[in-house]
Amino acid sequence: MWQLYHFPLCPFSRKVQLVLSEKKVPFVLQLAYPWRADEPIHGLNAASRTPVLERQDGKLVLTDSQAICEYFEETEDRSPLIPGSAVARAEVRRLTALFDDNLYGDVTELLLYEKMKKRLVLRQSPDSATLRAAMRLTHEHLDYLDWLVDNRRWLAGAQLSLADFAAAAQVSVIDYLGGIDWSGHESAHGWYRVMKSRPSFAPLLKQKMEGIPAPRHYADVNA
């Protein structure tokens, strides 16, 4: 059994939750807010951020979402998520990094700052120019998702992979924060509805961030 330190809108904790669920690795959630100085994660992770995954005997702590996903890819035979040849695996990792780094840095990180941190920690209003810029960049990323979905069975190729879960984790946080407008992105929208309908996704759609209500459509797998 593992304990996952997370907060409900951490996209990287969501990515790990999805992978653990797909691989049927049992875990319990433990709330952790990285912006609070007294959180145990600061002692468990030199990077001072979620996710942190601790084995319940306390003898193994894993951090960094990609290192965690690679660990379970190597130790669990069930549901390979970095499948195929070395070239196919490079494509899964390229896209996973594109969502973890670029989609996160261009959009998710800005929305978390403007709509979560400013509200809960800094007690400020979001900056509308930043939100507009994030919305523009979201459309560019959704264009690329459309292209992938139009040209492949799943994002990285013929098989469902970590790239799909990394992308869906970011999209779900952006959607929770009201940042997704699907108009003109029917292909990406169809893909996200399929991802949302997976049993591994159901717990994420129920998790609420205290003080930040989700829009009504957020948890609706048909919306």
Beta strand ranges found along the chain (DSSP E): 2-6, 27-31, 52-55, 61-63
The verdict on 109 binding a second copy (CB under 8 A) reads no
The verdict on 37 binding a second copy (CB under 8 A) reads no
The verdict on 25 binding a second copy (CB under 8 A) reads no
Residues 143-182 as x/- pattern, contact with a second copy by CB under 8 A: -x--------------------------------------
Binding test (CB under 8 A) with a second copy, winner from 3, 30, 66, 79: 66
The verdict on 132 binding a second copy (CB under 8 A) reads no
Tell the smallest beta-carbon distance from residue 187 to a second copy (Å).
16
The verdict on 74 binding a second copy (CB under 8 A) reads yes
The residue count for binding a second copy (CB under 8 A) is 24
The verdict on 70 binding a second copy (CB under 8 A) reads yes
> Bridge-partner residues for 4, per DSSP?
29, 53
The verdict on 87 binding a second copy (CB under 8 A) reads yes
Instruction: Say how far apart CA 157 and CA 153 lie, in whole Å.
Output: 6
Binding test (CB under 8 A) with a second copy, winner from 46, 58, 125, 199: 46
The verdict on 77 binding a second copy (CB under 8 A) reads no
Write the CB contacts of 66 (distance below 8 Å, at least 6 apart in sequence). 96, 97, 100
The verdict on 90 binding a second copy (CB under 8 A) reads yes
| Three-point CA angle 201, 113, 2, nearest 5° | 40
Binding test (CB under 8 A) with a second copy, winner from 9, 62, 110, 174: 62
Binding test (CB under 8 A) with a second copy, winner from 1, 28, 37, 86: 86
Contacts 24+ apart (CB under 8 A), 42-46: 44/5
Q: Of the candidates 203, 191, 181, which has an alpha carbon nearest to the alpha carbon of residue 137? A: 181
- Cis amide leading into 80 (omega within 30): no
The verdict on 67 binding a second copy (CB under 8 A) reads yes
The verdict on 31 binding a second copy (CB under 8 A) reads no
Instruction: Say how far apart CA 213 and CA 125 lie, in whole Å.
Output: 16
Tokens for 6, please give them.
Answer: 């997370």
Write the CB contacts of 30 (distance below 8 Å, at least 6 apart in sequence). 3, 4, 5, 6
**Binding-site ranges for a second copy (CB under 8 A):** 46-47, 60, 62-64, 66-68, 70-71, 74-75, 86-87, 89-90, 93-94, 97-98, 101-102, 144
